[in-house]
Amino acid sequence: MRILFTFIGGIGHFQPLVPVARAAEAAGHTVAVAGSGKVTPSVEASGFTVFPTSAPRPPGEPAPVPEPLERPDPAAAERHFSEAFGRPGARRHAAALLRIAAEWKPDVIVRDEADFGSAIAAERLAIPCATVLVLAAGSLLRKELLVEPLGELRAEYALPADPGLAMLDRDLVLSPFPPSFRSPGFPLPASAFSFRPGPPVEVARSVWSSAWPGFRADLPTVYFTLGTVFQAGPDDLFSRVLAGLREVSANVVVTVGERNDPAVLGPQPDHVRVERFIPQDELLPYCDLVVSHGGSGSVIGALAHGLPSVLLPLGADQPHNAQRCTELGVGQALDAVSVTPAEVVATVSTMLTDQNYRQAAQRIQTEINDLPDVEHTIPLLEQLTRT
């Protein structure tokens, strides 16, 4: 079977597809990936055949100039998501996937849930189309805001009207998230199958070796990240949070992203380590608490290791995830615009000592560990070609 995995946007929309793609390869199927030309090098580094759907990043392109932080507006983010992904994004990917699929001839297309254009291309070509969820809480994607832009695009491709947008979850929906994390107002569709994307994670915390001098095995460890794309700017969020974390009795690991220079944050005491990037699966087994922007990958990665989170949502689906963490008792949210070092010290110290947060996170960890492993998604994809 030939399976074409598609994603739109940044690398965060590609990563949830990887466990399914790896499992498909292990089962003997032929796999390729179609996605943004700007992140093609990262996809190629994962070892997949790649078809870019847009132009590559120009050589030497400067990093975008960061803008001052603004308080997130979830309703505005929902409208922006629907417009950006439902109009120019969907139109671009529909055209690109029609061309790619006509040449590569997949038996199944597996898209990230924001890649609406691939769903339209698959329907136009009568190819089964499965969806992998990438938005953990699920409440950023609102069908009522997508009906108009996707309806217009469907008409352009001579597809019948679909006022309920059944196209988004008709065939198969694969969810790499614990069902309890989903916002109750946005239940999973009947076609959904929840799975565990990686191996089960033990509850016991690993102990630091001597690889990082200055880190003490008898202290808790806090991991601080704002994801892979946040640009340090005039509001200096990194510095404000780190100023607070330095005062907490804990080992502290900070990742600033490939485009930021750790040296900008200045010299650090022995119990603080600042790096551009560390794979979170290598770091989280040693941690007790995660401080993050609330991206789906960061939040669910923490919960898979039984770790609570302090959330500093910046936009997109992050406020939705932060709200869900608060409701489930696995996190606290702080205002990224106004947060002070003193607030960081107080919140982090409380969450390190109040075991209710850790116990709530471990309950979700157990839920994740009990999910079927990713290999169970492959027979479902195979079934699509038979029906």
Model confidence pLDDT, tens digit, residues 150-198 = 999 999 999 999 999 999 999 999 999 999 999 999 999 999 999 999 9
Whole-angstrom distance, CA of residue 361 vs CA of residue 331: 9
Average pLDDT over residues 252-278: 89
Whole-angstrom distance, CA of residue 380 vs CA of residue 383: 5
pTM of the model: 0.94
H-only helix segments in the chain: 11-14, 18-26, 40-45, 74-84, 90-104, 116-125, 143-156, 237-245, 280-283, 296-304, 318-328, 341-353, 355-369, 377-386
Average pLDDT over residues 305-331: 97
Distances (CA, A) of 83 to 34, 89, 145, 146, 163: 22, 9, 8, 8, 17
Q: Report pLDDT digits (tens) over 225-239.
A: 998 767 665 568 999
Q: Report pLDDT digits (tens) over 74-127.
A: 999 999 999 999 999 999 999 999 999 999 999 999 999 999 999 999 999 999
Whole-angstrom distance, CA of residue 129 vs CA of residue 149: 20
**Beta bridge partners of residue 49, listed in sequence order:** 32
Domains of the chain in sequence order: 2-196+371-386 (3.40.50.2000), 221-369 (3.40.50.2000)
Nearest Cα to 246, choosing from 256, 254, 258?
A: 254
User: Considering just the CA atoms, what is the radius of gyration of the chain in Å?
Assistant: 21
